[in-house]
Amino acid sequence: MMAWAAKVLTVSDGVVAGTREDRSGAALAARLAEAGFDLADHQVVSDGREEVGRRLSQMAAGWTGVLVTTGGTGFGPRDLTPEGTADVLDRDAPGLAEAMRLVNPLGRLSRGRAGTIGACLVLNVPGSPAGAVECLEAVLDVVPHALSLLAGETGQH
């Protein structure tokens, strides 16, 4: 079995400004490492559609692995992570986004998306540390299979 890599992108004006600690990004990085993923990168970007889309494109370019964003999936005026993500996705993975929304009643307020950019699987999760990890855990069991398929492996389905 292949060891897969992961990247985390925290979307937060407050973290970029230094007025808020990146607790959700740290929680995701720890959970991914616990699940056996190698953390290849962890970046922070300001909220906003263009900022998120541009950073996702840069982080996903020519890379095979899972890229988990945290933050910007709610109803706040600057919560535009799903829109920025949609702008750069090659293909949607609505089943993953739906599974993440179903883990908690507050998930119904998440507008997060899931999909692919090349061979990179992108997952938008909420900005709260508990919500971020809970949503990731909802799909973590199928992420390795998705990554195998994205990498061109055609084994048993």
Collapse the DSSP code of 91 into the 3-class scheme (helix H, G, I; strand E, B; otherwise coil) and give the result.
strand
- Residue 71's domain comprises 5-12+28-35+49-150
Residue 136 belongs to some domain of the structure:
yes
Domain for residue 145, yes or no? yes
Tokens (6 digits) for 11: 């979307």
In a domain, 110, yes or no: yes
Residue-level pLDDT at 102:
96
Q: What is the CATH number of the domain that holds 73?
A: 3.40.980.10
Does the structure show a pLDDT above 90 at 1?
A: no
Q: Is 71 left (phi over 0), alpha (psi -120 to 50) or beta?
A: left
Task: Decide if 19 is inside a domain.
Answer: no
2 — pLDDT class (breaks 50, 70, 90): low
What are the tens digits of pLDDT across the range 88-110?
999 999 999 999 999 999 888 99
Q: Give residue 154's pLDDT band: very low, low, confident or very high (50, 70, 90).
A: confident
Residue 23 within a domain: no
Number of domains in the chain: 1
pLDDT, mean of residues 124-134 = 97
Closest alpha carbon to 50 in 88, 1, 104: 88
122 in a domain, yes or no? yes
The answer to whether residue 89 is domain-embedded is yes
List the structure tokens of 152.
């061109």
**Largest interatomic CA distance in the chain:** 48
Q: Is residue 94 part of a domain?
A: yes
Cβ-contact 6, 65 below 8 angstroms: yes
